[in-house]
Every structure is written in C-alpha cells, then in structure tokens.
Amino acid sequence: MKTNESYLESVKKQFLYYKMLGEKAIDQLEPEQLFVAVNDDTNSIATIIKHISGNMLSRWTDFLTSDGEKEWRNRDAEFENDLQSKQSVLETWDKGWKCFMDALNSLNPEQLSDIIYIRNEGHTVIEAINRQLAHYPYHIGQIVFYAKQLKNTNWESLSIPKNKSGNYNAEKFAKEKEIKNFTDDELKRLK
C-alpha cells in the first residue's frame, strides 16, 4: 500500500476511534449531566461538543476551495450553551462528524500535499488533518475526563481498566505478531 493511502486509512481509523470514545463517555451520563459546568471558566460537555462541531463545519466545508475559518462561523458563540436536550447535543455532534468524515472520505491520496488555508495561513492537507488529529482528541479527552467525574461511580472503562494492564498485555503477547492499526481491536471492543 502506498504511504499516502496508508496514512489516510490510518487517520480515518484514529478519528473514528476518538469519536467512539466520546460517544461511549456520553452514553454513560444522564442527559442533564451534559450541561453541567462547574464554574464560569469551565465548559460543559454540551458546549465542548458545540465547539468541536463548529470547528468541523468551518474547517471541512469546501475545505479544498475556501478558507477553513468561514465568514459564517461565530466561534465565540460556540462557547455559549444554548443546546437544550441530549438529542440536540447528539445532533450537533453528528452534524460535525458527518461533515468532517465526508471530507476525509472524499480525499484522494494525491491531494494530501495540496495547499489549503485556515485564517489565511497555508497548510498542506496532511498538515490540516494532523492539526485536527491533535485538536479533536484534546477536546474528547476533556469530555471523557469530565464524564468520569460526573458519573462518579460505576464508570465503564474506555481503555485498559485499572489493575488490568497485565491481563491486557498477556492477551496481546499471546497472539502472533501482525501489522495492523491499534484501533482495529479497540473499535471492536468498544462497540
């Protein structure tokens, strides 16, 4: 497999893995917990989702032909919590992810070196993808951390559970060596 094709396949799997982590964290909460903000400088999970979605829609709508910071985007408003239900939070989440994944899925490997702009700063497509590979998991980590605090008890681990690393490693090392993306097993495990 060519390097650019391999990169696209790998990055799509990584994004889907982080999307699933966010969804599994959200699924463990009561609807009202999505709107909890512990102070004025803290964003609720709903607000974080609104921001991620706003970023995705701005960055990935017509991303090859228009600047990634769209004129219609109001980033500051993304941090004002006006979502009122779990359904509206999940619809916002899904809308952003659909836009983003549709854009990724539309790419040909040859386009990874094309130049796109975000706030008038040129990036290769691969740099723009990597930029978001740092940005989206950063916020999903916030969602997971916050969800664990809000849930408080009976948290279903999204990674290797406490005191289970030995078992996890024994299972992995009991298998033959193979070349594959770590998300292949993780996505199956989390489903």
pLDDT, average across residues 170-190: 77
Task: Supply the range of the domain harboring residue 95.
Answer: 3-190
Percent of all residues in the chain with a pLDDT value above 70, rounded to a whole number: 96
pLDDT, average across residues 7-11: 95
- Among the listed residues 98, 104, 86, 96, the one whose alpha carbon sits nearest the alpha carbon of residue 10: 104
Tokens of 56: 């995705």
Do 156 and 28 form a contact (C-beta atoms < 8 A)?
A: yes
Tokens of 191: 């489903």
- Among the listed residues 7, 106, 113, the one whose alpha carbon sits nearest the alpha carbon of residue 62: 106
Q: What pLDDT was estimated at residue 191?
A: 65
pLDDT band at 185 (very low <50, low <70, confident <90, very high): confident
Do 44 and 79 form a contact (C-beta atoms < 8 A)?
A: no
pLDDT per residue as tens digits for the range 39-79: 989 999 999 999 999 999 999 999 999 999 999 999 999 99
Residue 30 sits in a domain of what CATH number?
Answer: 1.20.120.450
pLDDT per residue as tens digits for the range 110-163: 999 999 999 999 999 999 999 999 999 999 999 999 999 999 788 898 888 888
Number of domains, the chain: 1
- Among the listed residues 61, 26, 19, the one whose alpha carbon sits nearest the alpha carbon of residue 44: 26
pTM of the full predicted structure?
A: 0.90
DSSP string, the chain: --HHHHHHHHHHHHHHHHHHHHHHHHHTS-GGGGG--SSTT---HHHHHHHHHHHHHHHHTTTTTS-SS-TT--GGGGGS----SHHHHHHHHHHHHHHHHHHHHH--GGGGG-EEEETTEEEEHHHHHHHHHHHHHHHHHHHHHHHHHHH-SS---SSSPTT-HHHHHHHHHTSPP----THHHHHHHH-
Question: 10 Å Cβ neighbour count for 141?
Answer: 14
